[in-house]
Amino acid sequence: MSKKIVAFIPAHLASVRFPRKVLYEIHGLPMIEHVRRRALLSGAFDDVYVATCDDEVQSLIEKHGGKVIRTANTHKNGTSRIAEAVQKVDCSHVVLLQADEPLLLPEDLQFFVKSIKEDQVNTVSWNATGPIEAVDELDRHSFVKCFVNEKNRILFCFRRSPAFGKFEDTNKYIRKILGIIGYTKEFLVQIASLPPAPFESIEFIEQMRILENEYSLKSVSLDHTFPSINEPGEVDEVLFKLKDSLQDSYLKQVLAI
């Protein structure tokens, strides 16, 4: 059976750590529009949508020619928001793109979708992961880390590392969770219907609902990591990264759309 894969970018303005961050302007474009345009540049998806409950987000995306599906304003996370929105879309698989990942590389999205299309073991969920580059990142609570086994299965997610071993030994298995998450449509609707899991609620890690209910979450491993914007203090890191040659090339393409 052919796989029809659609990208969704969940968005709302009431972010706790960085209110209205999806509209934060980077080189004259709101952050979420950078993400949407990079998804389009990849050519990997059958369609790209923004799922939101906010008039301001809808107006902005539609002004730029994007597609929006309105959702309820009661969602606690992006997973449940796109689970509502995807029921209006004909597809077999869904890829959630976090709106605070303005440095997404189109070729990474292509690789992620290729991994879904070539999967032959009835996997129901996937998450892109990247390397931890410095030991101090293990306890940086603003982004999520995970343990990955030899079969590329994510076993556990956390914000501060429980590992005791040396960094050079553990960093093969401890990786950064990136804002590219895939599901079969059926599984997404199913997992979103379950009650929040204990560690998911304590640590604010959506992926733990999958793992705590003993479903498989597969790592799609990338060999690099780019910063996202979870908090205001991380903006400068992203702006600095946009100056390197690869990101500068994509920035020019994004602004030209």
| Phi and psi at residue 130, to the nearest 5° | -135, 170
Instruction: Share the mean pLDDT of the chain.
Output: 94
Q: Percent of the chain having pLDDT more than 70?
A: 100
Query: Token digits for 38?
Result: 């990079």
Residues 39-87 have pLDDT tens digits of: 999 999 999 999 999 999 999 999 999 999 999 999 989 999 999 999 9
Cβ atoms of residues 91 and 187 within 8 Å: no
Residues 109-156 have pLDDT tens digits of: 999 999 999 998 889 999 999 999 889 888 888 889 999 999 999 999
Gap between the Cα atoms of 257 and 254, Å rounded: 6
pTM: 0.94
Strands 93-97 and 67-70, by their bridges, are unpaired
Residues 221-251 have pLDDT tens digits of: 999 988 888 888 899 999 999 999 999 999 9
pLDDT of residue 60: 96
pLDDT of residue 232: 86
pLDDT of residue 121: 85
Taking the mean position of all CA atoms in its chain, how far away is CA 151? 22
Q: Which amino acid is at 109?
A: L
pLDDT of residue 120: 81
Averaged pLDDT, 83-94:
97
**pLDDT > 80? residue 16:** no
